[in-house]
Amino acid sequence: MKKIELDIVALSHSVTQSHNYAVVLGEIGGDRRLPIVIGGFEAQAIAVAMENMSPNRPLTHDLFKNALDTFNIILKEIVINNLLDGIFYAQLVCEQDGKEIKIDSRTSDAIAMAVRFGCPIFTFQFIMEAAGVVLDDSENDKLMKSEVKTGSSKNKLENYSLKALEKMLEEVLHDEDYEKAAKIRDEINKRTS
């Protein structure tokens, strides 16, 4: 089966389930989004890695990354490989000494590891057909621009991947909204400096 590459577009509170979060994955080169409901601890694990924060003591995902690094195991990619009864399943695709190893994982843990290793995230067409959503232009604009409002926007911008921020910057510059562009630019500069 042909794999579809995804990128983290947003990490936010879930609108459907209180006390939970949603990580929104976007199809690279496409307009479909794959929202996945995750717990608070998993959202924190993803956000910490996305922001390159260094906690005083390693989080569980950092510990697992350190263990893989110690044994020269490379995380090549993660694959969201199944969807049963509304639950996503994933695998870590690793390599050690030229041998491929697949490890079953919760999707949220797999995403947290992908962020730490900087490896790609993939899924399959049947999963995108079953759970993916396509936002029309007005909904997509609302999703992108609602994160750039004044006041608490800084926290929300921090939830976007660098790639998503760069795309958002292009869009607000095209719309000549320089105030929003400055906020996005500042967030990009904070990460790349």
In angstroms, the CA 72 to CA 95 distance is 8
Phi, psi of 8 (to 5 degrees): -75, 120
Residue 175 DSSP symbol? T
Q: How far is CA 47 from CA 23, 69, 74, 113, 174, in A?
A: 10, 21, 22, 12, 29
In angstroms, the CA 9 to CA 118 distance is 15
Per-residue model confidence (pLDDT) at position 108: 96
Q: What is the pLDDT of residues 104-153, one digit of tens each?
A: 999 999 999 999 999 999 999 999 999 999 866 555 555 554 443 333 33
Per-residue model confidence (pLDDT) at position 153: 34
Per-residue model confidence (pLDDT) at position 48: 87
Question: Hey, what CATH class is 3-133 in?
Answer: alpha beta
pTM (2 d.p.): 0.70
Query: Domain spans of the chain?
Result: 3-133, 136-192
Amino acid in position 122: F
Q: How remote is the C-alpha of 84 from its chain's centroid?
A: 21
* Strand ranges across the sheet with 21-27: 99-106, 87-96, 74-84, 121-124, 3-13, 21-27, 32-38, 133-134
CB 80 within 8 A of CB 122: yes
Per-residue model confidence (pLDDT) at position 95: 97
Residue numbers in the chain where pLDDT is lower than 70? 14-18, 135-156, 159, 176-179, 193
E strand spans, the chain: 3-13, 21-27, 32-38, 74-84, 87-96, 99-106, 121-124, 133-134
Per-residue model confidence (pLDDT) at position 11: 86
